[in-house]
Amino acid sequence: MHENLYVICGVDEAGKGSVLGPMVVVAVGVQSDTVFSNLNVKDSKLLSAEQRERLFNQICPLCKLATVVISAEHIDSRSSNVTMNLCVARAHAKVIRQICPDTAYVDACDVKPTRYAQMVREYLTSECEIVSEHHADKTYKVVSAASIVAKVLRDREIDNLAKIFGNIGSGYPSDPTTIEFLSSYINKYHTPPSFARKSWKTIGRLMAAFEQRTLV
């Protein structure tokens, strides 16, 4: 019998490219990904919000969860030599350390998966094989499960912000509702909201546009 209850884990994050709100990183630890055999787990982007919520409630009792929520302020506070990929790698390592699996499957955040695996490995404190692949959330059920949990938790964070500030959209730069909210907020308060990633180019462009308008 293996001494470790959680032999493998899957790791994924939600909100990496968002301009509003936190990034949520999740590791799902299990003895085997066969625990998800009867569940329709897949990449969270391929599921509706209702499907993700239902699967979230089915996944959680079957595994050990480790979660890290990284605020917009923390992301902005990164030093100039800390890339976003390194920020994610550190967070991936942090949740893996909480599970202590033999093998961790991660969705690679670098163009070179092997390089990303090494980035994660450098922040681990015990032996663990890192399987780093692009689209791991489509290939491995345990990563799909982590993807679903991360997306649900991230959506709840956005919903909580919306209850305070109104409709802020998904928080991503590609969302017109998010851009409209940011433009309106900046026009009214002359600064981005506290939960915006001020280091993002999107905010820089919106602030530049606002400052240009005030000069007219």
CATH code where residue 186 lies? 1.10.10.460
Is the pLDDT score of 193 beyond 80? yes
151 within some domain: yes
Check whether residue 75 and residue 134 sit in a common domain.
yes
Q: Examine the pLDDT at 80 and tell me if it is beyond 90.
A: no
Q: Does residue 4 surpass a pLDDT of 90?
A: no
Q: What is the CATH number of the domain that holds 53?
A: 3.30.420.10
Contact 145, 59 (CB under 8 A): yes
Cα gap 128→65, rounded to integer Å: 17
What is the per-residue pLDDT for 102? 96
71 and 157 housed in the same domain: yes
The amino acid occupying position 100 is C
Which pTM was predicted?
0.93
Q: Is the pLDDT of residue 183 over 50?
A: yes
Please check whether residues 123 and 202 belong to one and the same domain: no
Has residue 3 got a pLDDT over 60? no
Are residues 87 and 155 located together in one domain of the fold?
Answer: yes
Verify that 201 and 114 share a domain, yes or no: no
Checking if the pLDDT of 207 tops 90, the result is yes
Q: What is the pLDDT of residue 95?
A: 98
- pLDDT for 1 equals 32
Tokens of 202: 């999107």
Q: State whether 152 and 169 are in the same domain.
A: no
**Closest Cα partner for 145 from 23, 28, 18?**
28
Average of pLDDT values for 60-89? Answer: 92
Asked whether residue 187 falls in the same domain as residue 158, the answer is no
Q: Is residue 3 part of a domain?
A: no
**Quick one: average pLDDT of 188-192?**
96
Q: Are residues 57 and 154 in the same domain?
A: yes
Per-residue pLDDT band at 213 (split at 50, 70, 90):
confident
Is residue 148, in this structure, part of any structural domain at all?
yes
Output the pLDDT for position 216: 57
Residue 149 in any domain: the answer is: yes
Q: Is the pLDDT assigned to residue 150 strictly greater than 90?
A: yes
Within a domain: residue 173? yes
Residue 173 C-beta-side C-alpha neighbours within 13 Å: 13
The CA-atom distances, in angstroms, between 162 and each of 62, 73, 152 are: 31, 18, 15
For residue 177, give its domain range.
Answer: 165-215
Instruction: Verify that 103 and 75 share a domain, yes or no.
Output: yes
pLDDT at residue number 33? 86
- How many structural domains compose the chain? 2
Show the tokens assigned to 208.
């530049």
Do 174 and 142 belong together in one domain?
no
Poorest-pLDDT segment among 12-26, 37-51, 119-133, 173-187: 37-51
Beta strands 103-107 and 64-70 are unpaired
Report the DSSP pairing between strands 23-30 and 103-107: unpaired
46 and 61 share one domain: yes
Q: Which residues contact 17 (CB under 8 A, 6 or more apart)?
A: 172, 173
- Same domain as 174, residue 135: no
In the predicted model, is pLDDT for residue 135 greater than 90?
Answer: yes
